[in-house]
């Protein structure tokens, strides 16, 4: 049986790996206009998973949710400065699930894909500043 800290570190690394895949997907597809919805979806997914990685690191339980604000509220007690700084990432929330269904999604406009990727990049940078030393065991 693994020590609890080792198990938490493993789970955090898994969340990061999944978030990195979503982030990379959004970046790679950004140049293709017809993929705008897919870009913002994967950017939202990346943000959600980076935040869940950080919550996991702090052993803060979270519900199954795609609402970024809910995750930031849970993060507030353990990382208040970071949670406040990333509040604008909540703009991505409607793109997490609603966009996946025809006739029931927010419209993406030209430029939304760039905004989405930039928000995901900011969240990734902020979260990984905290998590890199933890995951590496430093």
The CATH number assigned to the domain holding 100 equals 1.20.120.330
Tell me 105's DSSP state.
S
Lookup: tokens for 49: 């998973």
Domain assignment present for 90: yes
CA distance 29 to 53: 24
Indicate whether 107 belongs to any domain: yes
Q: pLDDT per residue over 94-106, tens digit each? A: 988 755 556 666 6
**Alpha helices (H) along 30-78:** 36-57, 68-75
Residue with tokens 């928000």: 119
Residue 98 contacts residue 66 (beta carbons within 8 Å): no
Q: Is residue 135 part of a domain?
A: no
Total number of domains in the chain: 1
Residue range 11-39, pLDDT digits in tens: 999 999 999 999 999 999 998 878 998 99
Q: Which domain holds residue 125?
A: 4-130
Query: Which phi-psi region, left, alpha or beta, contains residue 110 (left: φ > 0; alpha: ψ -120 to 50)?
Result: beta
pTM value is 0.92
């Amino acid at each position: 049986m693994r020590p609890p800290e080792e198990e938490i570190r493993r789970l955090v690394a898994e969340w990061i790996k999944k978030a990195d895949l979503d982030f990379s997907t959004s970046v790679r597809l950004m140049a293709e206009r017809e993929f705008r919805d897919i870009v913002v979806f994967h950017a939202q997914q990346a943000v959600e998973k980076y935040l869940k990685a950080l919550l996991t690191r702090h052993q803060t339980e979270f519900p199954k949710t795609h609402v970024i604000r809910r995750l930031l509220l849970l993060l507030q007690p353990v990382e208040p400065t970071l949670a406040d700084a990333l509040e604008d990432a909540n703009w991505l929330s409607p793109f997490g699930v609603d966009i996946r269904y025809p006739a029931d999604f927010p419209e993406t406009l030209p430029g939304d894909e760039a905004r989405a990727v930039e928000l995901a990049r900011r969240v990734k940078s902020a979260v990984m500043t905290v998590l890199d030393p933890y995951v590496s065991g430093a």
